[in-house]
Amino acid sequence: MKQLQRIASIDIGTNTVLLLIADVNSEGQITTIHEEQRIIRLGKNVDTNRNIGIEGLMKCVGVLQAYRAIAEKYACVELTACGTSALRDAHNRDWFLEEVKKQSGVQIEILSGDDEALWTYHGGCLVLPKTQIDDQDTLVIDIGGGSTEFIVGNKTEIMHKISLDIGAVRLTEMFIKNDPIKPQEELSLQQFVASVLTEKLEHYRLSKNIRCIGVAGTITTLAAMEQKMGQYQPDKINGYVLSKGILDKMIIDLRPMTIPDRKNIKGLQPERADVIFAGAVILKEALAYFQLQEVLVSNYGLRYGLILRKIKNPLV
């Protein structure tokens, strides 16, 4: 009999804190029991002063207290919590980690960019049926609030993994100063992303039949918007194909809209209304750089990879 463990994983991102409670067996098969997300914008202004403020600390503590209680309610045998870009960048991260541990009882581990990329890949690939987990090369793209991860691998190995400091929150703060967005702001944002990709990814050599999987809030939100979801439905997100043509049209439609207008779009959480445009541009430029016409959307991602990491049995 395959022994089950119930584990809680928490992914503390620049924009969102995500909780997953899942049963996992000795072969690494994951069954989702409960998941939720809360947008706290932990990385707000981190680029400006390199510090996380008291407001960010208290929001994070409150969410972690709630998540810890949920994990206890579901009788989890273990809870793992990891921080990513915002915490990597913060000068006062040691103070932050100490205060969070003291006030919430949750110990946060800060992942390196490479580790974040690696376990995002393993989590994202869970969207593929086992029959498709083969030798075909797969590119996983994770657009977060502070960084974007690009990971290329197949059934036997990870060939490339890199984390770049281009995220939806970070680039919104850098380039978007007006509402609605001005054409010159869009152009500057687009040119910046393209230049970073060209500079940092020049060593990538992808096969022509590469498969692309997209994970995390920006990409799943774009899929929810395109399907006009009144309520988020993971089953309709997993496996949804978002084409370059659809993405181009969404960007054209979003730019002249004000933030209040965007908050009324079905499938778009109001808390993402100000940063979804930058996230969409990052995805558009990534597809253009890799000469891809579409991305397969996955509701899985780092929080699932963290559970696989915990049992040291990644599925590739």
102 and 204, same domain (yes or no):
no
18 and 95, same domain (yes or no):
yes
33 and 140, same domain (yes or no):
no
Distance separating alpha carbons of residues 298 and 124, to the nearest angstrom? 6
Range of 140's domain? Answer: 130-302
294 and 149, same domain (yes or no):
yes
> Is position 121 within any domain?
no
Task: Return per-residue pLDDT of the chain as tens, 316 residues.
Answer: 356 889 999 999 888 899 999 998 877 788 999 999 998 888 776 656 788 888 889 999 999 999 999 999 999 999 999 998 889 888 999 999 999 999 999 999 999 888 888 888 889 988 887 645 556 788 999 998 888 989 888 777 888 888 898 999 899 999 999 999 999 999 999 999 999 999 998 877 666 668 899 998 899 999 999 999 998 898 899 999 999 999 999 999 999 999 999 999 999 999 899 999 999 999 999 999 999 999 999 999 899 999 988 876 544 4
236 and 167, same domain (yes or no):
yes
217 and 260, same domain (yes or no):
yes
> Is position 266 within any domain?
yes
189 and 47, same domain (yes or no):
no
Domain count of the fold of the chain: 2
> Is position 119 within any domain?
no
110 and 188, same domain (yes or no):
no
3-state class (DSSP) for residue 163: strand
Q: How many CB atoms lie within 10 A of CB 267?
A: 19
23 and 137, same domain (yes or no):
no
Distance separating alpha carbons of residues 104 and 37, to the nearest angstrom? 17
Residue 33's domain is classified under what CATH number?
3.30.420.40
What secondary structure does DSSP assign to 169-213, as a single string?
HHHHHHH--SSSPPHHHHHHHHHHHHHHHHHHSTT----TT-EEE
pTM of the shown model: 0.85
Residue 227's domain is classified under what CATH number?
3.30.420.150
> Is position 241 within any domain?
yes
Which residue reads 């098969």 in tokens? 29
> Is position 125 within any domain?
no
> Is position 298 within any domain?
yes
192 and 88, same domain (yes or no):
no
> Is position 120 within any domain?
no
Of 45, 52, 210, nearest in space to 141 by CA: 210
107 and 137, same domain (yes or no):
no
147 and 283, same domain (yes or no):
yes
